[in-house]
Amino acid sequence: MAASKKFLIFFISIISILCLVFYHRQKDIATTEPDISNTAQASSEEPGNNYIVPTYTEADTDLNYNYIINANAFKKALSDCPYLFLQTIGTELNEFLQVEEYQGHQLKFNSLEKKGTYINFEVSISDSSDIVIGSYEWGLGEWNFMLKKDGNH
Amino acid sequence: MKIKRLCIIIIATAILFTSTSFAYAASEKEYGIISYNKDTENVSFFSTLPELYQKDFDNVWFNGGTVAENGNLLVCLCMLASYYQQHWILPSDFIAEYSEYISDDGNIDIYGASNAFLESNAHITIETFDFKKASEYLINDSAIILLRIKNPSIYSEYSTYLILTGIGDGYISVRDPIYQNLEKHSYNYDDYAGYYYSAYDVLISAGNDTTMYVYH
């Protein structure tokens, strides 16, 4: 076979391969999520499970809201609590912490116990060594909070 | 000469193949291909609320992004609409059928849209979230509740909606359009009621400053 023919076959093969590679690349782009938002990130809880993080936000959403992440850890203690305590603790804690200039933190119950008509609890704040010590008096519906800074009162 | 012709045919085929793939990619991006993998052809009746997840609609555009990002409420309403209309109403269907209830900035008039898909099957009431009331509706009325959690919570760092389908000892059964949540927060599954979330988690996340849409 002449050298020019060999070169021609080689050239065609290369072009064909490039076209096929390009086709598959386009197909992948079309079927995967386009990166259209700066807020869209892929979460990777487990390798291979890359989901788009939903970023649905409503007009009155407070993105700096401090929220509790481990309520269920106190399932037993919470089972006897008045539901008004459960329904309002998140809002009350957040309001107290916003005044103390904490924004967008995750809150974790360290302890929660009932003594008479009082529910006493201790809550740690993510990215901070400060701790909230609080109580709720369910007869009067009164809340009390105290911030323990860096382990000091 | 033979080889030359062969070359021309191969190159022409390759070019045609590539341009077709461009057109295919463009059409998918423009119109949105639903990657929903359930059998939508043979289902004509739902005995319970069907499941839909935002992640399955990452190519359907909505409100400046995709349904996977911005379609939390939309997907909840699709589940409810499908249930009450007794056929699949996927996000693109909902956007087309109930466009008059969707504002330009993507807000959905829940009350208006719900009344449209409920027809005479049921009715909707809007109430301030109250756990005791919600429990009574779920137990005594077999109601379905669309719960709005407006602030960040364990379920989302943004706003989120949950559909409450039942309640039991320490749990609330839900439909949650955020699939990742099922992996993180559900601890049981019931064919009829759906995934079980801790009632304490739901209650504390909802707080006292939120709304529930009750489908009676």
Express each pLDDT in B46-98 by its tens digit: 678 899 999 999 999 999 999 999 999 999 999 999 999 999 999 999 999 99
In whole angstroms, give the CA distance from residue A61 to residue B151.
Answer: 5
Give residue-wise pLDDT tens across range B154-207: 999 999 999 999 998 889 999 999 999 998 898 888 777 788 999 999 999 998
Taking alpha carbons only, the member of B33, B72, B88 closest to residue B159 is B72
Q: What whole-number distance in Å separates Cα of residue A138 and Cα of residue A114?
A: 10
Structure tokens at B205: 């996340």
Sign for the pseudo-dihedral over CA of B126, B133, B135, A71: positive
Higher pLDDT, A38 or B170: B170
pLDDT tier for residue A13 given thresholds of 50, 70 and 90: confident
| Interface contact B158-A37, CB threshold 8 A | no
Q: B160: part of which helix (H) or strand (E)? A: strand B160-168
Question: What is this model's ipTM?
Answer: 0.72
CB A106 within 8 A of CB A69: yes
* Angle in degrees, CA A92, A87, A43, rounded to 5: 85
Per-residue pLDDT, B202: 92
Given a cut of 90, is residue A77 above it in pLDDT?
A: no
Q: Taking a contact as any Cβ pair under 8 Å apart, which residues of chain A between 32 and 91 contact chain B?
A: 32-34, 36-37, 39-40, 43, 45, 49, 51-63, 65, 67-69, 71-72, 74-75, 78-79, 83, 86-91
pLDDT band of B24, cuts 50, 70, 90: very low
Q: Tell me the average pLDDT across A91-99.
A: 95
3-state secondary structure of B191: coil
Q: Beta partners for B84?
A: none
d(CA B84, nearest CA chain A) in Å = 25
Residue A47, pLDDT > 90, answer: no
Predicted confidence at residue A42, as pLDDT, reads 31
Mean pLDDT (chain A) is: 78
Contacts of A146 (CB under 8 A, 6+ apart): A132, A133, A134, A153
**Per-residue confidence band for A54, with pLDDT thresholds at 50, 70 and 90:** confident
CA distance B127 to chain A (A): 15
- The mean pLDDT of B28-34, rounded to a whole number, is 28
Does A2 contact chain B (CB < 8 Å)?
no
Q: Find out whether B141 and B165 touch, Cβ atoms under 8 Å.
A: no
How confident is the model over B88-132, as pLDDT tens digits?
A: 999 999 999 999 999 988 899 999 999 999 988 789 999 999 988
Across the range A116-145, mean pLDDT stands at: 94
Residue A136 predicted with pLDDT over 50:
yes
Q: Specify the pTM.
A: 0.73
Check whether A105 has a pLDDT greater than 50.
yes
What pLDDT shows up at residue A75? 80
